Amino acid sequence: MTDPDPNTLQQRYQRVLNRIRKAEAACDRTAGGVNLLAVSKTKGMEEIASLADLGQRGFGESYLQEALQKIDRLRDRELEWHFIGRIQSNKTRPIAENFDWVHSLASLKHAIRLNDQRPPDLPPLNVCLQVNTSGETSKDGYSEEALREEFEAYTKLPNLRIRGLMTIPAPGAEETAQHRPFERLRLLRDELTRAETPLDTLSMGMSEDLEAAIAEGATIIRIGTAIFGPRQYNQ
Ligand SMILES: *Cc1c(COP(=O)(O)O)cnc(C)c1O
């Protein structure tokens, strides 16, 4: 629809990178320890390509059909694609075949399908298990108790590499309250991590709460609006 103004995109991107550096410094974390995932759902090829020109490699998508088109058309750019949306049982194959990461895994059944469908010529699929840290019944993700019970089974799937945990807290919390779900995710990660299954990833923090997430140990933050501007849903 509208042609993105590259200066605007560049300025927004730079502002996000500055927020990350400031947040890392504020809690004495090593500069560069936080990976920025650009959430490009609903955004067009040109915007993704422009951001790739600015050096961004990782892109997060929530809607499978839309994502597959982008992955196909941008194949020669060698981007890293992360699936962050809701997984449907009958749509696991294209996820297993086309993505580098899945952040939104919350079902052993889906995990087994992804494991079986991952092409043998690709490295294991990196996955994060999604945890519901705010206790809202409407949100996807494991409760902490349920994940403790099933976690072991995930570590037995050779074509999945269990990297860590992901959460999407309820929106709208004040800065101090934003820390709580991120702290819970970090503590759960520490509890589940083993020498054989080191969990090196905490996927947490979005446009509104990335500072709190970084203070609590985020290693991947998923940022859409602050980079690309507001999303428009036409369909
Ligand atoms: C859309 C989305 C984001 C990005 O949210 P913003 O508030 O636009 O930064 C992050 N994570 C998930 C899982 C999303 O669906």
- The pLDDT tens digits along the chain (235 residues) read 555 555 699 999 999 999 999 999 999 999 999 999 999 999 999 999 999 999 999 999 999 999 999 999 999 999 999 999 999 999 999 999 999 999 999 999 999 999 999 999 999 999 999 999 987 655 689 999 999 999 999 999 999 999 999 999 988 889 899 999 999 999 999 999 998 889 999 999 999 999 999 999 999 999 999 999 999 876 4
Is residue 192 within 6 Å of ligand 1 at its C-beta? no
CA torsion 64-153-161-138 (nearest 10°) is 40
Domain span holding position 161: 9-228
For the entire predicted model, the pTM comes to: 0.95
Total count of domains within the chain: 1
Q: State in Å: Cα 192 to ligand 1 middle.
A: 25
Cβ within 8 Å of residue 231, ≥6 positions away: 41, 42, 43, 224, 225
Q: State in Å: Cα 3 to ligand 1 middle.
A: 22
Q: What is the CATH number of the domain that holds 118?
A: 3.20.20.10
Q: Is residue 39 part of a domain?
A: yes
Q: Is residue 3 part of a domain?
A: no
Which of 222, 223, 227 has most ligand 1 atoms within 8 Å of CB, for mutation? 222
Cβ within 8 Å of residue 5, ≥6 positions away: none
Q: State in Å: Cα 205 to ligand 1 middle.
A: 9
CB 143 within 8 A of CB 134: no
What is the rounded distance in angstroms from the CA atom of residue 36 to the CA atom of residue 223? 7
Q: Is residue 2 part of a domain?
A: no
State which ligand 1 atom lies nearest to the alpha carbon of 39.
4
User: What count of other Cβ atoms lies within 10 Å of the Cβ of residue 190?
Assistant: 10
Q: Is residue 220 part of a domain?
A: yes
